[in-house]
Amino acid sequence: MNTIQTFYNENKDKLFGYLLRKSGNYNLAADIMQESFTRYLERYNDLEPTPSLLFTISRNLLYDHGRKKRNETPYEEDRHGIESNQENTYHVREESKRVLRAIQQLDDEEKDILSLAVSSDLSYREIAEMTENSEANIKVKIHRTRLKLKKILNRENL
């Protein structure tokens, strides 16, 4: 049980960040994160915990949700924790919203691969295995996606 608790504590924030970046929806990300851990425990409790399997489960759940419901609600900034410095909180929220809007302009594969690279702490090799690409291809796609995201963000600043 202690191993599972450690696994949960080490991966919950990474998984939530991945799901939030991928979906742009706070509530959906929280629900899928919870469902991912539940399914992981139900089906793979006997195996050594691996983040790549957990992220694969969450990725598939997110795709399943997308197939069932095409209209997703936008990110709700009021769900984040409240900090004592309200001005700083405002700037962080606005920047987060700006980045999430920019990420939503990427195509699905770009969002997926970039979110995995940023949020999961998975190696390029593990991401390549999950997405059925070569490791070299993943490196190139991540680099190009970061450049595209930077261009989108710069265009918003004009």
CATH number for 129: 1.20.140
- Which of the four pLDDT bands, split at 50, 70 and 90, describes residue 83? very low
**Which pair of tokens denotes residue 5?**
């608790």
Total domains in the chain come to 1
Q: Considering only 22-31, 33-42, 66-75, which range has the smallest mean pLDDT? A: 66-75
Range of the domain at 126: 2-157
Contacts of 99 (CB under 8 A, 6+ apart): 153
The pTM (predicted TM-score) of the whole model is 0.61
pLDDT over 70 at 70, yes or no = no
- Give mean pLDDT, residues 118-128: 87
